[in-house]
Structure 1
Amino acid sequence: MATQHFTLHHDGVTIPVSRGGRGRPLVLCPGLNATRAGLRELTRLLRRHHDVVTFDLRGHGLASAASRYSFAAFLGDLGAVMAELGRFGVTGAPLLAGYSMGADLAVHFAAGHPGAVRGLVLVDGANPVPEPFLTEADLPILRAMWADLAARQRAEPDRARRVSLTAEEILAVNAEIDAVRAGILGRYERIGVPVHLVMSTSMAGDSGEEPAPRFNRNWRAGVERLVRACPRVTVSWLDAGHDLVLTHAPEIARIVRAAG
């Protein structure tokens, strides 16, 4: 199937949507600071065995900027795409895959829309970590990291990879994500379809310097907590960092294919 392109107008923003591939339907939801262009290799591999719909969240890639960026607003973007799947030619409940914050969005959507998806594949996100990542002690490091990231993304020459959010907006959304993950176990308990996680062993990198080791321990502890609470949730660990969608795209595509 040749790639098809659609435009969705929703909540004052314009969301670009692409559909291509063959096989059972799959919706791929990017995360914070991730774009369709950045996930191009994974999307290409997924399209060998799935009819893939993907899109840019507000303020990301070719989507328009917005007056507000929040978890609820991003969840609305995903919901708007899911509501229009029929218009895009997709029939039947899709497999819903999400990366990073996109995984959290996928869990919240599935919990609130029984029967709308046939399964979830969550890539390095939606983790009920026991400790928040945003603490007063670590805030200066994270603020500097996101300031550098925001500057690079806003200056990206390829508009399809550009992200419009400022460092403060990224910080605010990450604070929301911490709060969302504090209560996400309850969302998992409302999901009646298969759920598979694909998680990185070194989410915060493998430098060995704090706070990376502490962040990585927190990441693993969150997954262990989830599996204890929801034994039907399955997990694959990849020896990778949080950029695993770039460094381990073939492995992720194989896991998604096995999931359906």
Structure 2
Amino acid sequence: MLKRLFDLVASGFGLIVASPVLLPVMFLVWRQDRHSPFYIAPRVGKNDRPFKMVKLRSMVINADKSGVDSTSANDNRITAVGQFIRRYKLDELTQLWNVFKGDMSLVGPRPNVKRETDLYTPVERKLLTVKPGITDISSIVFSDEGDILKDQVDPDIAYNQLIRPGKSTLGLLYIDNQSLLLDIKLCFLTVIAVFSRERALAGVQSILRSISAPDDVCVLASRRLPLIPRPPPGGDRVVTSRDGNPFA
């Protein structure tokens, strides 16, 4: 109840405060091709229920029909205005509407498309027991997701090998330790990350130490070492194909 009250008040206030930024950016998105500035993204929410996530459109029309779910920094579907939107995470601001409606929470595991949630291991299914969020620990740790996937032959496979294992691990860690105080800290660090990724990652380390996170998770979240392919939580092998079952 307290979490929902926090989400409701903060998202309503956030929409009002963000409107002076959102309105001109919406106009710029519309002006570039005379199409809607919004992209209504189908996502999977709590208890496996689908919902429609509202995003500022950063790609060309019908980009979602290309068959590729993951987006690299050099994806040619991203528009000129879209590069600016993604750089400053402005497409996340419109998701405050989903929080206000109750589809999402300010903090929680990031929502995914059904093609990806269908690949979840039994362990990862726990990510669907809470409302998805605009941000969480992994949103800060993997805020450079587009750069990680840059120049990858298949961004979707690279996502499942390099990003998904860590993202799911951190999402599960959040669920096991969620609290209003943790949500406030993560909201603050998310804002900090826009201006200083280094400071935000240092803040994540402080949070992980406070909840006694395993050493290997702290090392992963520091992002000081190169990412390597690994199985997702509960999986026994690395995903090697888009439709490959990640567990035996």
When the two structures are superposed, what TM-score results if normalisation uses the length of structure 2?
Answer: 0.29
Choose between structure 1 and 2: higher helix proportion. 2
Choose between structure 1 and 2: higher strand proportion. 1
When the two structures are superposed, what TM-score results if normalisation uses the length of structure 1?
Answer: 0.28
